[in-house]
Amino acid sequence: MSPLLEGYPYRECLNEGFELRLNLHKLALLIGYLAHHMRIGNVKEAKSNARALRETLKTLKEYTSPSFSV
């Protein structure tokens, strides 16, 4: 992620909570994608979305550690 953010001009937006907010947004998108692909019966994409959702949840669990603060 850091190579993408190095040249970003609005540094004040990249505070400690930036990655948390980014992952929460990703979580919401993945839930929507999974629901959509389940509804239309696209099993291959649903499996891919479920896998990505699990990885994102795993990442978000890091933010629940007692040492984390925003």
The predicted structure's pLDDT at residue 20: 87
What does the pLDDT profile of the chain (70 residues) look like in tens digits? 566 667 666 666 667 778 888 899 999 999 999 999 999 999 999 999 999 999 999 999 988 776 655 5
Contact (Cβ atoms closer than 8 angstroms) between residue 37 and residue 59: no
Say whether pTM exceeds 0.85: no
Question: What local confidence, expressed as pLDDT, does residue 11 receive?
Answer: 67
| CA distances (Å), origin 20, targets 39, 41, 49 | 29, 31, 19
DSSP state of 63: G
Collapsing DSSP to helix, strand or coil, 50 comes out as helix
**Helix, strand, coil percent values for the chain (each to nearest 5):** 75, 0, 25
Q: Which helix (H) or strand (E) holds 3?
A: helix 2-5
